[in-house]
Amino acid sequence: MNFSSDNSYGVADEIMAAVVAANRGAAVSYGGDDWSMRVSARFADLFEHEVEVFLVPTGTAANALSVATLTPAHGAVLCHAEGHIHLEECGACEFYALGARLVPVEGFAGRMTVPGLKAALARYPGIRHDLVPSALSLTQSTECGTVYPIDEIAALAGLAHENGLGVHMDGARFANAAAALGCAPADITWRAGIDILSFGATKNGAIAAEAVIVFDRTRGRDLFHRRKRGGLLVSKTRFLAAQLEAYLVDDLWLRLASRANAMAARLAAGLASLPAVRLPWPVEANEVFPVLPRALAVKLRESGAVFHDWTATGLAGTGHAPSPDECLVRLVTSFRTEAGDIDAFIAAARGLAERT
């Protein structure tokens, strides 16, 4: 009953096999290898668009490089107040963007809204003494386990472009969103106005493999140098590229994400049946955020369940905030989560809740 993180579950067998298979003979290093070439071509096919592809070992790196290429140091980067780049990356974006500022935008369930973005932009009326809003960063699927529909992305990106901002998507869980929407990857990226994407694979079964996908080359510049300068250019690139190649072959990425999503839906359904538990946000990807009685959370952990407490800041003033006796927790499902584990967790919760 481990729901602590997508990162806890190891690596999909197909991906590990590809890494092992890549260990044959000599290969050019620093991106000149055949695996890297093939992966770039696959991404172009997948997105139905010319792309530049920069492989890196972490999602934080992918985000920070992407954001940095969209903003000058005196720029303001608008992101969701609960965005990963804002809350959990130790200022990597500010570091790579050489001192630019992240400006949190409010919104419910991890999703920014057009009025929220308009209000944030209005705080920068173009006075020359002030920072210049230069980039918008959206997360898909969001940090609250929700998914932006296509038209919302297009509306936000359109507003950003009208105001001269470049648009980045943090796709650490892009696969979960794509699987949930069942749309073409292009539909929620460049066709909706995304200029640059952090395409994640690590949370969904890779060892350590993320790709920065540049759709608009006029915006995403200097990435080769920025990646090297950040110490993010691995030497034996074949092993990084091999992970992503296996991830894309035969839609493995979507199959893994669909499994994780299905497990989250099963978990959400089970939780919804418990009177003491409520789900403030819709469950649309592979994360479930129940508000539980604190006593129940303690007992669940005692019975072996593993999960993290979560900040309820985003629930303040929404009518969903935990009472003093309650807490918000995060339950993550993965490509390897078993239905039996879900059912055992729900059964335990039901039993414990009744006795509480």
Site for a second copy in 177-196 (CB under 8 A): none
Least Å distance, CB 226 to a second copy, is 7
Candidates 99-107, 156-164, 272-280, 323-331 — which segment interacts with a second copy by CB under 8 A? 99-107
> Out of 157, 181, 232, 297, which residue is the one contacting a second copy (CB under 8 A)?
232
Least Å distance, CB 6 to a second copy, is 8
How many C-beta atoms lie closer than 10 Å to residue 191's C-beta?
19
**Per CB under 8 A, 88 contacts a second copy:** yes
Least Å distance, CB 56 to a second copy, is 7
> Out of 41, 115, 217, 222, which residue is the one contacting a second copy (CB under 8 A)?
222
> Out of 36, 40, 58, 333, which residue is the one contacting a second copy (CB under 8 A)?
58
What is the arrangement of strands in the sheet containing 132-139, beginning at the earlier edge strand?
52-56, 210-214, 196-200, 166-171, 132-139, 75-80, 101-105
**Per CB under 8 A, 61 contacts a second copy:** yes
12 vs 241: CA distance, rounded Å: 15
Residue 242 contacts residue 22 (beta carbons within 8 Å): yes
> Out of 191, 226, 320, 330, which residue is the one contacting a second copy (CB under 8 A)?
226
31 vs 193 by CB, closer to a second copy: 31
Residue 87 contacts residue 310 (beta carbons within 8 Å): no
**Per CB under 8 A, 91 contacts a second copy:** yes
What is the token pair recorded at 96? Answer: 């790579």
Kindly give the pairing relationship between strand 196-200 and strand 326-332.
unpaired
8 vs 273 by CB, closer to a second copy: 8
Q: Which amino acid is at 67?
A: V
Candidates 37-45, 140-148, 226-234, 296-304 — which segment interacts with a second copy by CB under 8 A? 226-234
**Per CB under 8 A, 71 contacts a second copy:** no
The backbone region for 318, taken as left when phi is positive above 0, alpha when psi lies in -120 to 50, beta otherwise, is: alpha
Least Å distance, CB 160 to a second copy, is 20
113 vs 78: CA distance, rounded Å: 12
**Per CB under 8 A, 224 contacts a second copy:** yes
How many C-beta atoms lie closer than 10 Å to residue 5's C-beta?
15
What is the token pair recorded at 62? Answer: 């992918």
What percent of the residues of the chain are helix, what percent strand, and what percent coil, each to the nearest 5?
45, 15, 40
Q: What's the distance, Cα to Cα, between the start and end of the chain in Å?
A: 20
> Out of 24, 151, 250, 340, which residue is the one contacting a second copy (CB under 8 A)?
24
**62 CB-near residues (< 8 Å, 6+ apart):** 56, 172, 198, 199, 200, 210, 211, 212
Candidates 18-26, 155-163, 249-257, 344-352 — which segment interacts with a second copy by CB under 8 A? 18-26
Backbone angles phi, psi at 308, to 5 degrees: -105, 145
Q: Which helix (H) or strand (E) element contains residue 37?
A: helix 34-47
**Per CB under 8 A, 113 contacts a second copy:** no
Residue 287 contacts residue 332 (beta carbons within 8 Å): yes
Least Å distance, CB 315 to a second copy, is 14
Kindly give the pairing relationship between strand 326-332 and strand 308-309.
antiparallel
Q: How many residues bind a second copy (CB under 8 A)?
A: 75
DSSP state at residue 107: -
225 vs 354 by CB, closer to a second copy: 225
**Per CB under 8 A, 95 contacts a second copy:** yes
> Out of 313, 339, 351, 356, which residue is the one contacting a second copy (CB under 8 A)?
313
> Out of 55, 65, 213, 248, which residue is the one contacting a second copy (CB under 8 A)?
65
Least Å distance, CB 23 to a second copy, is 5
**Per CB under 8 A, 286 contacts a second copy:** no
**Per CB under 8 A, 87 contacts a second copy:** yes
> Out of 39, 79, 102, 315, which residue is the one contacting a second copy (CB under 8 A)?
102
Residue 8 contacts residue 334 (beta carbons within 8 Å): yes
